[in-house]
Chain A
Amino acid sequence: MVGIVAYGAYVPRLRLNRQAVYDANKWFAAGLRGLAKGERSMANWDEDSITMAVEASRDCLTSHKAEDVRNIYFASTTHPFKDRQNAGVIGTALNIEQNLLASDVAGSLKAGTSALIAGLNASKSGDATLVAAADKRMARVASANELNYGDGAAALLCGTENVIAKLVGHHSVSMDFVDHFRGEDAEFDYGWEERWIRDEGYSKIVPPAIKAALAACKLKGSDVTHFIMPSPMPAVPKQMAKICGVAEGAVRDLLGANLGDTGSAHALVMLVDALETAKAGDKIMVVAFGQGVDVLVFEVTAENAKLAKRKGLSGWLARRKEEKNYMKFLAFNEMLPIDKGMRAEFDKKTALSVLWRKRDMIYGLVGGKCKVCGTVQFPRSQVCVNPNCHAIDSQDPYAMAGLEANVMSFTADSLVYSPDPPGYYGMITFPEGGRFMADFTDSDKEQVKVGAKMRMTFRIRDNDTMRGGFKRYFWKAAPV
């Protein structure tokens, strides 16, 4: 039996208040009033699709060992790198390199489901396969997309043991129906008229594909317990369900009220949402539209109830801070030529040779543990840091990303350049041993205190815009 064996999700902490966006833009785009309700997720300045996918993958692997993963598929339409394997960065961050096939899946909003189909097929042999999907979508100022989009990620582990949702079947069609596109030189999507997309696209392409999938699975529309279908037009999934005999009550909420449409990740995000409460025997249909359509059908097993607790979509959604400052949203997305000052001009050139030598330290947050005295330390060094030891070449690698740390000292620095001033950083100590001066993220004055518990999170450290946007990633501390 092949299927999903674990799930995880990630949603950035900030939630942009849509009314605040509308209030700023209504002088120009009064017609957006109908969308000015609820909130959408908003990536922090140091988050992108890679960092969000890493977080969702860590959430997913709460119950499983990362080193057992043999394949990683990373779906996104906003991969930070055009040429540099994005999935490979996730692998290194999870400390998996050997015996790993990593692959990026891109180019369409159904990239998430296409990656999931590939992942399920790859895991038939028994190889654990991680499918991650994330998007941080850009939208023009005062557009409907700006209000509808959200930033987020999902991850699913596929395998053959302790399957929580068995793959019943899948069906795909691929046709070049261009409802929107983003060319090589474009920052934003360019879309055609919604009514045409609905009448000539969804209505003519989706129902036959769903019916073909149902037939292949020997199921009727009425057998579907959870119908998952992202769409920028909320009425469309209900119409498609109705045409195919799926009960209206089975159509899953699009999570528009407090998350927004997370692009190629959204079908998987909604699947995680469904799996969190699905019962054994439930049939889940996942439909993703984008130059064709992917349809997957799962049956939930009794294992789902036994899956170890994780944050999941609900947990990450519950961690939330409202953001009413639309200017901040624009600045974080580099859509505001804000005066950053000369301190933002320092060269961010990365020595790629150093990054390669130290990749387990930088991307994996791997420190050392002294075989002689047992002291855990970061970074791993040739001479043990313990003043009473100083043994040479005595350390084994010691992974620290999963450990909680405490704040020993900290400051809120108004002098340092930070896209979100003041810059919070401080000395964090790990109860197992080890400490370092770390940048903090997702932090507020109220949360950062001496003794506060911190969780390590994989983030953007710098963006080398002088060289086309080489992003430096490292681990930061965020309040638990």
Chain B
Amino acid sequence: MARGIKDKVAILGMGCSKFGERWDSGAEELMLEAYKEAIADAGIDAKQLNAAWFSTAIDEVHVGKSGIPLSTTLRLPNIPVTHVENMCASGTEAFRGACYAVASGAADFALALGVEKLKDTGYGGLPGGRGGPLQALWSASGTAPGNFAQLATAYMTAHGVSADDLKKAIGHVSWKSHQNGAKNPKAHLQKAVEMDTILNAPMIASPLGLFDCCGVSDGAAAAIVTTPEIAKALGKANIVSVKALQLSVSNGSESGHNSWDGSYFHTTRIASKKAYEEAGIKNPRNEVSMFEVHDCFSVTELVTMEDLHISETGKGWKDVLDGFYDADGKIPCQIDGGLKCFGHPIGASGLRMLYEMYLQLQGRAGARQLKDPKIGMTHNLGGAPRENVSSVAIVGRYE
């Protein structure tokens, strides 16, 4: 394994817009909302930025291609701006680009900004009709809920979990995120929901009901990164540094080879293992203080907690029902409300997760503040269980 970038990069400042159905804002306004907070938090001038990474996932319904939309909106000083897209992992990809630029010495200050403006399509759910001309001829006419619902059927089959037990466990996943989201003023959904309401909600794609699915939100999030040395020189205390950044991408074996049973994320297992190595984490269940994982659907979160090697394979549903991941549990998960309640503007989501980890590690999370967290881990999954990109980031206090 390569040497990695542990403690070579520090987060200097972060910002995050209010997420939600932002009928008042286009992508440009959202980008600026996140950027203003980040640059003020970093305490530097825009002219000091050496490079920027700009993430979106469905830019054809808002900003379009290239780095120009970011550069123009922020009036950046003609620095390199790279537009990245890797589905739901796009935000973490922008962060990875910025971190690698700093770690390599190519940049002293780099900006990562992700945005998604989805609520200009005229209909609910994610915009459809993407994919190339060959895919259009044969790929099943699926939606995101339909693809992830199959994770649930395969998980039940693989581990002999009854439909009832699974429904309760994934219901608890969403219940917990609603409890957390209620304490977050920037969250899209800020209302706690009763278990009965969750369990009896209309079916979207069986067995996933309405509350098993995250909503579609507008929003933006940004990070400015530098080296820990520069951060110290700027007088920063409570420095948060990057411990690991890993990405694993499917190569078609899950979707095309009969060795995968559909019940887990092959890529997440690989990315998280590499991330623990890079960060020097031996026993993640004891060492990680908190998680923000990709709960696009309740069942995704449940299975992900196994693939991040926290819950035992096939037993994650029991940990969930035991409250292990609740705000007052052993390792709180989605303390900011998660994709489920904070929202999921795709290109911004990875950066939004890091924003919460950063606030928590600096003791600035307000009503949601956890007691003395040391290591935070984020996870994004783009695509479908059978074919995806899985990104993992670990951040922590710089000692």
Which chain A residues have a beta carbon within 8 Å of chain B's beta carbons? Answer: 341-343, 346-348, 350-351, 354-355, 358, 361-362, 375, 377-379, 381, 385-387, 408-418, 422-423, 425-427, 429, 433-439, 450, 461-462, 472, 474
A416/B143 contact (C-beta < 8 A), A387-B253, A411-B205, A436-B256 known: yes
Report yes or no: A350 in contact with B136, Cβ–Cβ below 8 A: yes
Which chain B residues have a beta carbon within 8 Å of chain A's beta carbons? Answer: 121-123, 125, 128-129, 133-134, 136-143, 145-147, 149-151, 153-154, 157, 202-206, 208, 251-253, 255-259, 261-262, 386
Closest A residue, CB atoms, query B262: A409
Of the candidates B138, B150, B151, B255, the one having the most CB atoms from chain A within 10 angstroms of its own CB is B138
Complex Cα spacing A377 to B255, Å:
10
Report yes or no: A355 in contact with B137, Cβ–Cβ below 8 A: yes
Complex Cα spacing A434 to B125, Å:
31
Chain B nearest CB, measured from A72 CB (Å): 23
Closest B residue, CB atoms, query A440: B140
Q: List 16 A-B contacts (CB under 8 A).
A: A342-B122, A347-B129, A351-B136, A381-B256, A385-B257, A387-B257, A411-B142, A411-B153, A413-B205, A425-B146, A426-B153, A434-B256, A434-B258, A436-B256, A461-B138, A474-B137
Closest B residue, CB atoms, query A408: B262
A437/B139 contact (C-beta < 8 A), A346-B128, A408-B262 known: yes
- Taking A387-B257, A462-B136 as known contacts, 7 extra A-B pairs with beta carbons closer than 8 A to each other, sorted by chain A number, are A408-B262, A413-B143, A415-B125, A415-B145, A415-B204, A427-B262, A429-B258
Q: Which residues of A contact B203 (CB under 8 A)?
A: 412, 414
Q: Which residues of B contact A415 (CB under 8 A)?
A: 125, 143, 145-146, 204-205
Q: Which residues of A contact B259 (CB under 8 A)?
A: 387
Complex Cα spacing A194 to B147, Å:
54
Chain B nearest CB, measured from A381 CB (Å): 7
Closest A residue, CB atoms, query B154: A409
Report yes or no: A437 in contact with B142, Cβ–Cβ below 8 A: yes
Report yes or no: A409 in contact with B253, Cβ–Cβ below 8 A: no
A413/B256 contact (C-beta < 8 A), A343-B128, A474-B138 known: no
Q: Which residues of A contact B138 (CB under 8 A)?
A: 361-362, 379, 436, 461, 474
Chain B nearest CB, measured from A470 CB (Å): 12
Report yes or no: B134 in contact with A354, Cβ–Cβ below 8 A: yes
Report yes or no: B258 in contact with A435, Cβ–Cβ below 8 A: yes
Closest A residue, CB atoms, query B125: A415
Q: Which residues of A contact B206 (CB under 8 A)?
A: 411-412, 422
Chain B nearest CB, measured from A388 CB (Å): 9
Report yes or no: B204 in contact with A378, Cβ–Cβ below 8 A: no
Complex Cα spacing A123 to B204, Å:
54
Chain A nearest CB, measured from B105 CB (Å): 36
Q: Which residues of B contact A351 (CB under 8 A)?
A: 133-134, 136
Partner of A410, one of B121, B143, B150, B258: B150
Q: Which residues of A contact B122 (CB under 8 A)?
A: 342
